[in-house]
Chain A
Amino acid sequence: MNKVLAFLTCMLPLVYCVSAQAQEIPTAGQPPIVQDQSKLPHVVIVSMGGTIASRAKDRMNLTHYGDGPPVDPKDWLHDLPELQNVARVTTEDMRSKGGDKFGDIARVAHRLNELAKDPTIDGFVVTHGTNTMAEVAFYMNLVVNTDKPIVFVGSQRPWSGISGDGPLNMYDAVRVAADPDAKGLGVLHCMNQNINAARDVTKTSAYRVETFKGLDVGSLGFADPDKVKFYRAPVRKHTTESEFAGTDLKELPPVELFYSYTDAPGYVIDAAVQHGAKGLVIDGYGAGVPSPSQAKAMTRAQAKGVIIVITTRTRGGRVQEVPARAKAHDVNGDNLPPEKARLLLQLALTKTHDWTKIQQYFNTY
């Protein structure tokens, strides 16, 4: 017993030393790595950055990181040699310089469409910051023409953070991307061991690791330690069935969104139309109701040919078809959150300006 204790004590500084770069990932107990990888699926990790690609100098810094060196995509492979037992993993560095621009999303959509045609590739993992990852995943769900798994992953804590969720999320995302059962389910999202559908997943908590949920309709399955298991498939159209599959647009028609609240003014809606907005998403209260001033501005906008989609700020339940909305030519946003309704409306406006046809898109995607 004493000998064991003495051994462990002398090992402690060593372990710390070896893991200096990614100090929060234990280096002890790494499993043996398979020598022949030729039979394993080929998964490409596309880095769009995010918290999972960030470090802080101090491991207790979980909120304002970025002062440490950014994570190069190769660092994930170095820190997680276990990935080599799951798949042949290669990386693509598509981190943006300016952050959060549609150009970055378009670039990655183009690249995914290109890589998806490569018969030697079986699946994709895309890292992204968690704040807007759900809508970016939804965009890919509409425009990438493949039945190969595309799994969005991120983390709530930086790669350097204490009890970081990044390593397990990355490991699970690669397992899902390598899993034949994940084919044909549309773009997926995997964090906190839950597999969600791109259309339905939403970030629900600023800092907790269980932040992503399929609000109305739950998860599709789980990335559990024993196996990846799916229970559900999405009904709404996606990827190969999507009318937008293969779309390679560098920009989209301008669409702005507005939140409804007591006394929400109409003049900001007028301003958006003056600035050239071709569509508006109104995140109405309750069943999808704008404020009275917004309702008047909506009518003014429609007179100029602007298409309006109504969502509900309740983040649960559908905006239903009611005669008053049909009469007003307002499009029901179904149960999409406004940021996703905006992207679908932008894509729809590249095809038509007929509100009844746009309603069909919202009924089927």
Chain B
Amino acid sequence: MLNPFVSRLARNGLMALLIACAAVSADAQELPKVRIFATGGTISGYASDRDLQYAYKAGSIPPDKLLADLPEAAKVADLSYEEIAETGSGGINTQILLKLAKQINAWLARPDTAGAVVTHGTATMEETTYFLNLVIHSDKPVVVVGAMRPFTSISRDGPFNLYNAIRVAADPEARKNGVMILLNEEIQAARDVTKTNTERVNTFDTRDLGPIGFADEDRIVFYRRLLYRHTYKSEFDVDNLTDLPKVDICYGYQEGDRACIDGVVAAGAKGVVLDDSSPGNRAAVKDARTKGVVFAQSDRKGSGRVLNSPNDVASGVVTADNLNAQKSRMLLRLALTKTSDPKEIQRMFEEY
């Protein structure tokens, strides 16, 4: 006689098979319309050998191949795709960001669409996601997905991540959550998530606030809703823009001099994010302020808020709350499309 646990497992497997068979016959016409916006990344990375987990070429597998490799996804959503770029995280630039935002906005503005999925390299995924969180005008789900191991690798995480991203993008309960990142079955909020490990599949983490939900096998579950402004409540709009103001980041460290700030300002930066403090900052900030450059103060620790100090705002340095430097840069760029008044920009850092 089987022990109860084993017989429970056997029944489980049979039931899963039955569900899978039923789903194959579902009519694609009735499924929610989800579009994949491909930018590249490790999720579409190609290596000659399946044990090569780092020596690969990102963005080599086109979206039709990604979907052909994942026939199960066609049971969840009526899928289409657009190829925005074929690059890794490092190749993402302002032109790609603007194109991506405009194309997603156009797609979601159609009344018959359900959601969007973006494939992206993981290294700068968090700032692209936060940028989209500020400029997408819809409350429909937008899910950014990637992989830590290339398409060709053993134990590749990409297919399951993509499958779950499509499930979330097709789920009406995922609306109003802003843009989300999905890897490793965790649904993370654009504003708060960060990449925390160079290699592991559980790299995306939201240190203080945690994920907002999970893409579990039985169902998608949300535990948190967001209290700050994003997507459909955002005041930012890039649909008519062809470029964004230049903003750079200067890292703070012992004996850091004013060269970084002076250098980026000389190169045309309209804003600078100070990620923690260098002793050379004070004098350089004072000089740059005469040219109207706006500063945002973030913190390199990666957890906790930069506390509000009225003196900072008066001196043209806004506090970045608990946004990290790369996300502060995105918000400051968008803020500078509206104003260069530090007080007004401080309001934006408190609301988004």
Contacts and interface: CB of A to CB of B under 8 A. Distances in A.
Interface of A: 194, 200, 214, 216-222, 224-227, 229-236, 289-290, 292, 295-296, 299, 317-318, 320-325, 327-328, 334
Contacts of A226: 307-309
Given A222-B208, A232-B209, 6 more contacts: A226-B307, A230-B227, A232-B227, A233-B227, A295-B3, A325-B8
Contacts of A295: 3-5, 8
A219 B5 contact: no
Contacts of B321: 229
A328 B4 CA distance: 10
Contacts of B24: none
Contacts of B211: 216-218
A232 B4 contact: no
Main secondary structure of the interface of B (DSSP, over half): loop
9 contacts: A194-B208, A221-B227, A225-B307, A226-B309, A232-B209, A295-B3, A324-B11, A324-B12, A328-B8
Those 8 A-B pairs whose CB atoms lie nearest each other, nearest first: A218-B210, A324-B8, A323-B15, A321-B218, A295-B4, A217-B210, A218-B209, A320-B218
Contacts of B212: 217, 232
Most chain B CB atoms below 10 A, which of A221, A229, A231, A296: A231
Interface string B206-233: 1011111010111101111111100000
Given A321-B219, A322-B218, A323-B12, A234 B224 contact: yes
A197 to B, nearest CB: 8
A318 B218 CA distance: 10
B338 interface: no
Contacts of B209: 218-220, 231-232
A63 B210 CA distance: 31
B9 A324 contact: yes
Most chain A CB atoms below 10 A, which of B3, B224, B228: B224
B347 interface: no
Nearest to B209: A218
Contacts of A217: 210-212, 223-224
Most chain A CB atoms below 10 A, which of B223, B228, B308: B223
Nearest to B18: A323
Nearest to A230: B227
A232 B214 CA distance: 16
A292 B225 CA distance: 40
Interface of B: 3-5, 7-9, 11-12, 14-16, 191-192, 206, 208-212, 214, 216-219, 221-228, 304-305, 307-309, 321
Contacts, number: 99
B303 to A, nearest CB: 10
A244 B346 CA distance: 42
A222 B8 CA distance: 44
Contacts of B221: 318, 334
A231 B210 contact: no
Contacts of B191: 231
Contacts of A231: 191-192, 209, 226-228
B11 A323 contact: yes
A91 B217 CA distance: 48
Contact of A224 (B210, B218, B228, B307): B307
A235 B223 CA distance: 5
A312 to B, nearest CB: 12
Contacts of A321: 218-219
B5 A232 contact: no
A299 B3 CA distance: 12
Contacts of B219: 321
A327 B217 CA distance: 18
Nearest to B15: A323
Contacts of A216: 210-211, 214, 223
Contact of B225 (A200, A235, A299): A235
B3 to A, nearest CB: 5
A324 B223 CA distance: 25
